[in-house]
Structures are given as structure tokens and as C-alpha cells.
Amino acid sequence: MNFQVYNRELQVGNLNIIGVASSSICLVGDAQTIQLASTFDTPAESLIIGPFVPLHPKI
């Protein structure tokens, strides 16, 4: 496969970002490879209804 890119003029006025979070990247420039991964676990069993039992601590 041939992949040809012609980068012509790139000029941006204003960048307004509220948040860059959780291993995100805001890049003004070029990059060869970018790999971003995110696992986000909020399963049903994460919702605990009942007494406030603390999570098991670090031993």
C-alpha cells in the first residue's frame, strides 16, 4: 500500500481546551507513531449499595 501525504499550510488561530486528562496528548507538531490505550472499568458490581465498606488496603 502506498500512503502519500502532502502537508500544505497549517495555521491555527485559537486553541481552547478545558482539559487534557488520563494519558491524553495535545501535540502541536509531527509524530511518527502514536499509541494510546485506555481501560475504564465501571461495571455493575462497582455500584455498591449498603454500608460504606472500605476497599481492601495495600498490604
Partner 1 sequence: MLQRTSVVDKMNVNTVSFSSIVEVGDSTYHQAVSRALAVQRQKDLFYGNEGAFEDYAVFTEPIPFIPIIENVNCYFENMKPIIKVHHINITGISSSSLLQIGNCRHMYAEARIKHFRQIEQSVASETGNHLIQLNDPSQLGVPTSQSPVTVTRTDITGSPFSDVEPEQEQ
The footprint of partner 1 (CB under 8 A) covers 1-42, 44, 46-59
- Copy the grid coordinates of residue 3: 500512503
Distance CA 48, CA 31 (A): 43
Query: In 3D, which of 32, 28, 33, 7 has the Cα closest to residue 17?
Result: 28
